[in-house]
Structure 1
Amino acid sequence: MASHVLIPVDDSDRSTAALEFALEEHSSAKLTALHVIDPGDVYTATGLETGTLSNYERVRNEHETQAENLLETARRRAEDAGVELETEYVIGDVSETIVDFAEDRDVNHVVLGSHGRTGASRILLGSVAETVARRSPVPVTIVR
């Protein structure tokens, strides 16, 4: 049985399903919800190439506030289930950051949601779940 489970979270229904699964199936483990802020999203939203550094700071702060709110919602879900949940957000490439976090924090299982895309949409859009599953040093459960 896993002793430290990482649950990457975003604002999708699949992410919520993964969190609920982890709370139910791994309630006795140390659980950590992680939200990764993609720096490309912050940079693109700022129009930094024509804007100012203050635009970047404002948009980054907005993304961080959204992350805090998302993680607070996750904490409340865990509390309602009677489970303790640690939370953290970081800025970085989403897939790479999840894998690195698992390696660096002695995580021994990852539970994450997947949209279940197939075919061209998966190739064009990529799949965080697939990349994490291929590169993770620990077992991964993908919830659809």
Structure 2
Amino acid sequence: MYERILIPTDGSDVAELAVEHALDIAAQYDAEVHALYVVDTDAVAYSLGAEQVDRIRQGNFQGMTELREDAEAATGYVREQAHERGLTVVEHTSGGQPHDLIADYASDNDIDLVVMGSHGRSGVRRALLGSVTERTLRSTTVPVLVVDARADEVK
């Protein structure tokens, strides 16, 4: 049923909870895991120049140590946890509008299931879902499992 599972991650505690759910499902179905880190270029455009934003959109974080380290830490966490379960992992980083890139990645890579946290690092919650999660639900035809975690339940 599930051959490829996408885990969009920003490295937040809620994203790490989603990783656990996704890997349990992947282990059950012996599915390939895809870890995706997206830099929201709308959020960083004001502090970076146009050339840097264009490089981020191409997935090139050269010269942007903090962004590269954040991306590597987030997808690296997925990789480490998946390898402990004997699962295959594909890591990918990109830049743009997160919900669009998640939907495009799912479509382009024949993803069967997207597993993501209810909200991410921004800490801003809309009723129940963060804006990226809400927009992803509206942007893709792939099934999405949303892992909800209340702030007091997150380590």
The correspondence of residues 9-88 of structure 1 with structure 2, limited to 5 A, is: 9-27=9-27, 28-46=30-48, 48=49, 60-88=64-92
1:42/1:60 contact within 8 Å kept: no
Structure 1: how far apart are the matches of 2:36 and 2:119?
A: 18
The one-letter amino acid paired with 1:10 is D
> Relative to structure 1, is the Cα distance of residues 106 and 58 closer, same or farther in structure 2, using a 3 angstrom cutoff?
closer
Q: Is the 8 A contact 1:111 1:142 kept in 2?
A: yes
Residue by residue over 1:96-134, the C-alpha shift from the partner in whole angstroms, topping out at 9 and shown as x without a partner, is: 110011111111211111139xxx9518x9511111112
The runs of 4+ residues in structure 1 deviating greater than 6 Å are 56-59
Letter in 2 for 1:94: P
| Cα shift at 1:40 | 2.7
Task: In structure 1, list runs of 5 or more residues that go unmatched.
Answer: none
For the pair 1:97 / 2:101, whether they are aligned, the reply is yes
The structure richer in helix per residue is 1
The structural deviation recorded for 1:45 is: 3.0
Considering only aligned residues, what root-mean-square deviation do their CA atoms show, in Å?
A: 2.8
Structure 2 unaligned regions, length at least 5: 56-60, 149-155
Overall identity of the aligned pairs, in %: 34
| Count of aligned residue pairs for this structure pair | 135
CA contact (8 A) 1:31 1:86 kept: yes
State the TM-score, normalizing by the size of structure 2.
0.74
Q: Distance in 2 between matches of 1:126 and 1:10?
A: 13
Q: Which has the larger radius of gyration?
A: 1
